[in-house]
Amino acid sequence: MLSGPARNQSDAEGRYALGAVLHPDAVALIEDILQRGVDVRMEVTGRSMAPFLNSGTVVTIGSADVGSLKPGDLILFKNSAGRPVLHRIIRTRNLNGHPSAFLTKGDALRNYDEPVPADRVMGKVVNVEKRNVSGHVLPIDLTSRRWIVRNRILAVVHLFYAATDGRYARHIPQAVRAAGNRIIQWLHA
């Protein structure tokens, strides 16, 4: 989930409000801005994308050509209730060689979201502004080769965890689970 200043107004830094109480017209406005090719900065709320995106992290959303989206990409989409959600693409479903739906998941969640039809995708995260312990902002360019590779690997790791969590989890040796957790921590660093 994403949020911003109260009453769905932009703040002094140009971030826009986006959250669970957002009026549908405001969601449509954000969608229209993105379709015009203008990037939108938003503040993340919630914990579904932790540890990579924590509450308070600022992200920049850019327009997205659904044909170019790949597993690992972070997308902003409207769920079936029309609320904006920012999660990671884990898998794409194609119809006649074109993406028809995306399987998404929050990094901190066990289960996938409902399939996201291509027409509900609003945009793609292109930049993340994380604060380190001293309060300095560390920009992360998700369009850089390094982060594209990291995000693709994360998608595979999350696909594995989602597939094995639950009834198969007890069959995975503890050492393998521990190694997987270390890989996820390293990828999120």
Contact assessment for residue 101 and residue 113, using Cβ atoms and an 8 Å cutoff: no
pLDDT at 184 over 90: no
More confident call, 159 vs 137? 137
pLDDT band at 166 (very low <50, low <70, confident <90, very high): very low
The candidate with the shortest Cα–Cα distance to 88, out of 150, 16, 166, 20, is: 150
Residue 44 contacts by C-beta under 8 Å, 6 or more apart in sequence? Answer: 1, 2, 3, 53, 54, 55, 56, 57, 58, 59, 86
pLDDT band at 113 (very low <50, low <70, confident <90, very high): very high
pLDDT in tens, 40-88: 999 998 899 988 898 889 999 999 999 999 999 999 999 998 899 999 9
Domains of the chain: 2-188 (2.10.109.10)
Q: Rounded to 5 degrees, what angle do the CA atoms 83, 132, 180 make?
A: 70
The rounded mean pLDDT for the chain is 80
Give the C-alpha separation, 30 to 41, whole Å.
Answer: 10
More confident call, 12 vs 148? 148
Structure tokens at 39: 């990037």
pLDDT at 134 over 70: yes
Burial class (CB in 10 A: 0-12, 13-18, 19+), 3: buried
pLDDT at 180 over 80: no
Query: Which stretch, 3-17, 55-69, 85-99, 165-179, has highest mean pLDDT?
Result: 55-69
More confident call, 89 vs 156? 89
Structure tokens at 99: 């993406």
Burial class (CB in 10 A: 0-12, 13-18, 19+), 163: exposed
Q: What is the pLDDT of residue 175?
A: 55
Q: What is the pLDDT of residue 189?
A: 56
pLDDT at 159 over 80: no
Burial class (CB in 10 A: 0-12, 13-18, 19+), 144: exposed
Structure tokens at 47: 């914990």
Q: What is the pLDDT of residue 56?
A: 87
Q: What is the pLDDT of residue 176?
A: 57
Query: What pTM, to 2 d.p., does this model score?
Result: 0.78
More confident call, 10 vs 59? 59
